[in-house]
């Protein structure tokens, strides 16, 4: 199959490089210098410094060229740009081509999940989400990893699984699209909380409590929206949460850690080449929580920090204040 990946950040480039070893793959990049570097030097030093890419991978800045021959379209752009890029690409995408989202976030305003945006802009195209504990640099280093492909059509899932699986990168199928996408979006917010704990030096006991309570929050919201609890206890929920909260490679954890050390958010974000989705997602998940009547105290505290209404230390005092809720375990 001809695979096209839209988005040349670390995760999009990683998936394109993996796919290129088994299928003709084209990577779409916004910057001409990135496209030229990927095609001629087989590197992407801006987002994956030090890692060689598949020599079969090609890149282009021409969105029409990227999409016209695709048998599988993979979208790896930030949630804030997801609709605009897909809308521009839509006229060039052939009928019935499946669209796989790698984006873990929600659309501002509509609160739609990314597969819902796909279904709205490309009706008739199978929509899927690939999610899980997938740190791009570890995968590029050849370390084993597993991911979950969520889509409603079992036939499409099996076909995409064969395309996306690669040696040490194992892909599992799941029909619970809601659970997989909710888990992927909320874990970024909880990772900021875990990073703040690291920056404040509050200890592993507190971090473990925040991560565990965070799992309870994403499960509460997911189940209220129609997800299955076991999905949030698996790779797309707990697995992704642990990796994102604990790894120094995690962008969202890194943002939280720097906040905990006293830096201000605009300066942190200005230094980053990539998007920390949890920053924008915190407020959006609270809108979803209000819609579904669910309490998300950790997400609420992180939203206060992101908006500048509370310091990281004040947020943590709120998180560890005595409460009356049951043990989430």
Which residues touch 158 (CB under 8 Å, ≥6 apart)?
Answer: 173
What is the set of active-site residues?
187
Annotated binding site for sn-glycerol 3-phosphate: 104, 132, 187, 240, 250-252
Tell me which of 72-81, 134-143, 203-212 is least confident. 203-212
Q: What mean pLDDT, rounded, does the chain reach? A: 94
Per-residue pLDDT tens for 174-224? 999 999 999 999 999 999 999 999 999 988 888 899 999 999 999 999 999
Q: How far apart are CA 37 and CA 35, in angstroms?
A: 5
pLDDT at 217: 97
**Residue with the two structure tokens 């404040």:** 200
Q: What is the mean pLDDT of residues 148-165?
A: 95
Q: Single out the residue of 204, 242, 197, 236 nearest to residue 219, CA to CA.
A: 236
The answer to whether residues 215 and 274 touch, using CB atoms and an 8 Å cutoff, is: no
What are the structural domains of the chain?
3-175 (3.40.50.720), 178-319 (1.10.1040.10)
pLDDT at 324: 42
**Residue 292 pLDDT exceeds 90:** yes
pLDDT at 125: 97
**Residue with the two structure tokens 């790698």:** 102
pLDDT at 256: 95
**Residue with the two structure tokens 């300066």:** 267
Annotated binding site for NADPH: 10-11, 30-31, 47, 104, 136, 251, 275, 277
Q: What is the mean pLDDT of residues 15-44?
A: 97
Q: What is the mean pLDDT of residues 287-314?
A: 95
Q: How far apart are CA 290 and CA 221, in angstroms?
A: 10
Q: What is the mean pLDDT of residues 146-157?
A: 96
Q: What is the mean pLDDT of residues 57-79?
A: 97
Q: What phi, psi does 320 have (nearest 5°)?
A: -100, 5
pLDDT at 77: 96
pLDDT at 326: 54
When pLDDT is cut at 50, 70 and 90, the band that residue 321 belongs to is: low
When pLDDT is cut at 50, 70 and 90, the band that residue 240 belongs to is: very high
Sign, CA dihedral 173-175-176-180, equals positive
């Amino acid at each position: 199959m001809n695979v096209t990946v839209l988005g040349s950040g670390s995760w999009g480039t990683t998936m394109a490089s993996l796919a290129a070893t088994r299928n003709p793959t084209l990577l779409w990049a916004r910057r001409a210098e990135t496209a030229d570097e990927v095609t001629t030097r087989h590197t992407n030093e801006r987002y994956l410094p030090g890692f060689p890419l598949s020599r079969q991978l090609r890149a282009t800045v021409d969105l029409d060229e990227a999409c016209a021959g695709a048998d599988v379209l993979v979208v790896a752009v930030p949630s804030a740009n997801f609709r605009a890029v897909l809308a521009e690409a839509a006229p060039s995408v052939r009928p019935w081509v499946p669209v796989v989202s790698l984006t873990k976030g929600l659309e501002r305003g509509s609160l739609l999940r990314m597969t819902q945006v796909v279904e709205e802009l490309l009706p008739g195209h199978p929509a899927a989400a690939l999610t899980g504990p997938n740190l791009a640099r570890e995968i590029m280093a050849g370390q084993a990893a597993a991911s979950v492909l969520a889509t409603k059509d079992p036939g499409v899932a099996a076909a995409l699984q064969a395309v996306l699986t690669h040696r040490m990168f194992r892909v599992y199928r799941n029909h619970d699209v809601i659970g997989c996408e909710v888990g992927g979006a909320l874990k970024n917010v909880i990772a900021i909380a875990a990073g703040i704990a690291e920056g404040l030096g509050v200890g592993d006991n507190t971090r473990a409590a925040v991560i565990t309570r965070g799992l309870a929050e994403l499960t509460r919201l997911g189940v209220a929206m129609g997800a299955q609890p076991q999905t949030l206890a698996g790779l797309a929920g707990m697995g992704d949460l642990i990796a994102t909260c604990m790894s120094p490679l995690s962008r969202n954890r890194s943002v939280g850690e720097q906040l905990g050390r006293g830096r201000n958010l605009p300066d942190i974000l200005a230094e980053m080449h990539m998007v920390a989705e949890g920053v924008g997602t915190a407020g959006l998940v609270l809108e979803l929580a209000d819609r579904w009547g669910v309490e998300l105290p950790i997400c609420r505290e992180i939203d206060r920090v992101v908006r500048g209404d509370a310091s990281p230390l004040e947020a943590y005092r709120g998180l560890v204040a005595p409460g009356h809720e049951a043990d989430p375990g």
